[in-house]
Amino acid sequence: MAIIKLSAIERRRLSAFVTCLVLAIFAWLFTSLSNPYKYTVRQAVHFRNAPQKRAFHPLQADTVNAIVQGTGWQMLFSKINEDKKVIDVDLRTLDTRNYVVLSAQLRQINAKREVGREIIAITPDTLFFDFSSRTVKRVPVEPVIAINYQKQFAQSGDVSIKPRYVTISGPAEALSRIRTWKTDSIKINDANEDFNGRINLQGAKEGNLNIVPKNVSVNIPIDEYTEKTIEVPVKLINNHNYYDVRVFPQKVKVTLTTSLGNFPDLNEDDFEAVADLELWRHSGYSMLPVKVTRLPSYSKVVKIEPRNIDFIIKK
């Protein structure tokens, strides 16, 4: 391939031509993008001023297509980074009718938007709603807990929530599907002490539900855990024929982890260890395994010694 050799003057002329061409393209692009354009942006709808005496259900999706008047630059950036702003729709007119006309609210919608990025039309322009009688229901609060504990620490008691119940009002059909109401996530890392705080409840996914109160007080007891060994008598179960049975040993050593707060008060009365005689009658077991069927809350059995016991049956 032949190589074109340019003189110094020709190289300067070519460089000047390329520079002018690039500047011309940028000038044309800048001018074009500065002109006004109409473009469509998909936006979520947020309802406000919902009627208090009428339960409603929207008959269309919770997003609309907004036709925006703006510059080419604004259109370009709206495509690169979608506009995350929502459109606030006032529902006060639902007190007397079952639809809302969005074009009638364009002035108040645009009042919250940036200058030069006004919405000139919305599709669909009219939102329709289905109405039903408004009912009230009380449901328990369900805490959402995501806690990572420090080594040897753990939850040591039941979670306390005040108030324990929330009141929900809305359409009977929607309320029939609700059994509990969740809180926002309670996230803690390296927890080593009790948690006490006021936690918001999760927002309603349907705009026609009202929840009271909006937040609750949550207490999560957290304590350090340690091991303790207690001797527990073995109880024989399923002795349906009332055999005279003796077990050896009569007590087993139960090693468990428990919180430091519960440690001093634990005794054998807090436990129940059983051996099932049915395993001998139906399965021919020569030794009976021991199971702990009752122990203090938030405690965990580490081991039982011995795990299996001997027995003698006198007929």
Whether the CB-CB separation of 230 and 263 falls below 8 Å is answered with: no
For the CA atoms of the chain, what is the radius of gyration?
A: 36
| Predicted pLDDT at 80 | 41
| This prediction's pTM | 0.58
3-state DSSP of 288-312: EEEEEEECCCCCEEEEEECCEEEEE
Residue in this structure with the two tokens 């030069």, named with its chain if needed? 116
β-pairing, 272-276 vs 222-237, is parallel
DSSP state of 102: G
| Predicted pLDDT at 5 | 65
**What does the alpha-carbon distance between residue 303 and residue 310 come to, in Å, rounded to a whole number?**
18
**What does the alpha-carbon distance between residue 38 and residue 72 come to, in Å, rounded to a whole number?**
9
| Predicted pLDDT at 233 | 94
Beta-strand ranges (E) seen in 49-194 are: 55-58, 63-71, 87-90, 99-101, 118-123, 126-132, 134-149, 153-155, 160-162, 165-171, 181-191
User: pLDDT tens digits, the chain, 315 residues: what are they?
Assistant: 456 666 777 667 667 667 776 766 665 565 554 556 677 788 888 888 877 766 677 777 788 888 877 665 555 555 544 455 788 888 888 877 888 888 888 888 888 777 667 888 888 888 888 777 678 899 999 999 999 999 999 999 999 999 999 999 888 778 888 999 999 999 999 999 999 999 999 988 776 788 899 999 999 999 999 999 999 999 999 888 777 888 899 999 999 999 998 888 888 899 999 999 989 888 888 899 999 999 988 899 999 999 999 988 876
